[in-house]
Structure 1
Amino acid sequence: MSEKNNTTHSSENQNTSNWFESWFDTKYYHILYKERNDEEAQLLMDNLTHYLNLPEDARILDLACGKGRHAIYLNSLGFDVTGIDLSENSIKEASKFTNEKLHFKVHDMREMCNEKYDAIFNLFTSFGYFEDDADNYKTIKAIHNSLTETGFAVIDFMNVDYVIENLVADEVKSVDGIDFHIKRYYKDGHIFKEISFEDQGQQYHFTERVQALRLEDFEKMMEEAGIYLLDIFGDYKLRKFYKNQSERLIMIFK
C-alpha cells in the first residue's frame, strides 16, 4: 500500500469499517505515536506476567502487536512470544527482531490462531475498531479459543467514562517536523480522533474511531461467549478499577 494512496482519507470518504487498515499501515501513524511511554508499558507487562504467575517457558501471543514493542519486551523476559497484526508494514518492521523465541506474522484478530497460547495480551486499546458488534464478539471468541486449557487472556482498554470526562478537544503535536492537528470528540457511541497534517506539500487527514465500550459491554460479550472474567484492574500498577477515576480498564479472563 503506497503512502500516496493514503493522502486524502477523510471521515467522509474513508471506508468506515476498516479505517485502521489504511492509517495503521502508514509511516505517519508510527511517527505520531513514536514517543509512547515504553516504561509504562513495561510496568504493565512486568505486573501481568507476575500476577499470572506464567512459567518461564510460557507461550505468549501479543494480539495487534504493531511494530512489536510489547512482544520484544516480553521476549526479553524469556518468554516464547508471537506477535500478530493486520498491518503488513508493521509486521515487516517487527520481523527485524525475530529470533528462535520471537515471531511475527500478519493475522486478523477476528480469526482463531492455529496454535494455543498460555497467555494472550491485547494491549493499549487495540480493540473496538470494528463497526459491527459481531466482529467484537468474534475477536473475543477467537482469543478464548486460542488459549491453552490453563491459559489466561488480558484486554487492556481505555476506561471510557474517564476518557470522555478528560478529552482534550484540540491539540497540535509536533513530531519530526510535522505538525499533527488533532481533534477529539465523543459521538454515536464512539470516541473519534481526527488527525490532519501536511508533509512535503501534501495534505493528509485520518480519523481514528474506537467504540466506547464499557465494562458492562465486555461482560455481556464474555457471558455470551462462555468466558470467565477473573479480575478487573484500573491502571498499569494493577490497582482497583473505579468507573469514574481509573485511566484504564484491564480485564483478565479465561
Structure 2
Amino acid sequence: MLAVLEHLALEAKALDPMRAFYGDELDLDVVDEFDRELSFAAGETTLVVRRPDGVPRGGLHTHFAFSIPADEYGDWWDRLSAERALEEHTFGSASSLYCYDPAGNCVELGQSDVAGPGIDGVFEVVLEVEDLDRALPFYEALGFSVVDRGAQRRRVRLSGPMDLELWEPHLGLADARGGVHVDLGFAAPDVDAAVEAIRERACRVERDGERAAVRDPDGHYLTIAPEENE
C-alpha cells in the first residue's frame, strides 16, 4: 500500500553539528536548507534535520539504519572509528556498525545489496510505541507485514517500503531507543486507499490536496503523497 520511504525527519537543537556529522563525516549531500531545517540526500530517502520550533517536529533519539555496499564496510569502520566509539553486530552474513549523531540518534550503517558508492538509502526505522497490540494493527493496515517478534513481546519487526520496528520502551542494541514523535514521509500508489485503511485507528487525518497528514496512535507523523510515475 505504501511504496517508498520519501523522508525521515530528526530533531536537533543546532543544525551545524548535524551538518558536520551527516555532511562531512557521512558524505551526504545537502539538498535543501531553511532557517529551521536542513535536508540530505540518502538514496531515495531524504533525511531531514529540523529545529524544534514548529509542527511536525522531527524524531527524538531515533534509531535508524543506512544501507551501504557490503564491500565498503571495512572502510567505513576505519573512517568512523578514528573519531567515534563504534559498536558492531552481525546478522547472518551481514555486519552493521552503530554510532550516535550529535543529537543522540543511534545511526546504523549496515552491509546491504546496494550499488553505492557510500550511503544508499534507509533500510530500517525504529519507533517507540506504548502498546504493541494497539500499534501493530495500524501499520499492518498500511501493508506492513510481521517478519519477527521479540521473545518477550517488547518489539516487532515489519517489512514494507523499509523495515519498520515497533518497540515498547526499552534499550536495544547499542543502547538504542525507539524514536518519539518521528516524522516519516511515504509515497503511495493510492493515497485515498491508504487513508481509508487507517482512518479509524489514527489520532488525526488531514488532507492537503492529494497529500495526507496522519498521526498514528503514538503521535508519530506520517505524510502520504502520490507516487510519481516515471
TM band (smaller chain): 0.3 to 0.5
Q: TM-score, normalised by structure 1?
A: 0.31
TM-score for both structures, normalised by structure 2: 0.34
Q: If each structure's strand is expressed as a fraction of its own residues, which one has the higher value?
A: 2
